[in-house]
Amino acid sequence: MKMKMAAKQFDSHNRSVIQTARKGDLLEIERSLYSHWAVYIGNEEVVHLAGIENGINSNNINPSHVFTICGRQFNKAMVKRERVWDVLIDSKVKINNEKDRKCQPLEPNKIVEEAILKIGEIGYNLLWDNCEHFAAYCRYGIKWSEQVRNLGILVGTYWMMPYVSVTALSTLFVWKRILARKDKEKMKSRL
């Protein structure tokens, strides 16, 4: 029941977004813990990187290439051309060409052509070859994922916190000793 309500909740919003989308725009589709990315190619169609279900129990799986979607595990991906509504399902979408601020996008027809040329099975890596990397590559000619970058900052900050805390405490301790020494020197000079 909640899924149907969510789909109806976003229906009007999503229709409005898709009506304004232009060929070559990047669509960011909000999922629960991440965003899925697709290249809008016109006529309510997108090209996107999607998982291929795989026999994960085999011994030849490289764990760095495994990812999950809705609990199913994958280590390969397929670039697909699909109706935008089949990709959105019950998620909210927005046009996200924010990287235009830092990168020059290709011409819309070149973006669409690049996306369509990539259709087929490819490898997948969460950190270097995910759906956002794919979409950015089609639009700008470079692989770039803000989600991965932000995750790296978050993880780096988390792991660095003990070191930052120790460094900050050490610095405070040193300054406290320096100030205490200066206070002693002032007291002696007064006597």
Catalytic residue among 48, 65, 133, 138: 48
Catalytic residue among 65, 131, 133, 138: 131
How many helices, marked H, and strands, marked E, lie in the chain? 5, 7
**133 belongs to the catalytic site:** no
71-14-133 Cα angle (round to 5): 55
Catalytic residue among 36, 65, 133, 138: 36
80-2-48 Cα angle (round to 5): 10
DSSP line for 64-87? GG-EEETTEEEEEEEEEEEEHHHH
Taking the C-alpha atoms of residue 87 and residue 38, their distance in angstroms, rounded to an integer, is 9
Q: How many other CB atoms sit within 10 Å of the CB of residue 53?
A: 10
Torsion angle defined by CA atoms of residues 10, 14, 16 and 22, in that order, rounded to the nearest 10 degrees:
170
For 21, the 3-state DSSP assignment is coil
Taking the C-alpha atoms of residue 40 and residue 24, their distance in angstroms, rounded to an integer, is 5
Nearest partner of 24 among 114, 131, 152, 147, judged by Cα:
114
**36 belongs to the catalytic site:** yes
**Positions marked active-site:** 36, 48, 131
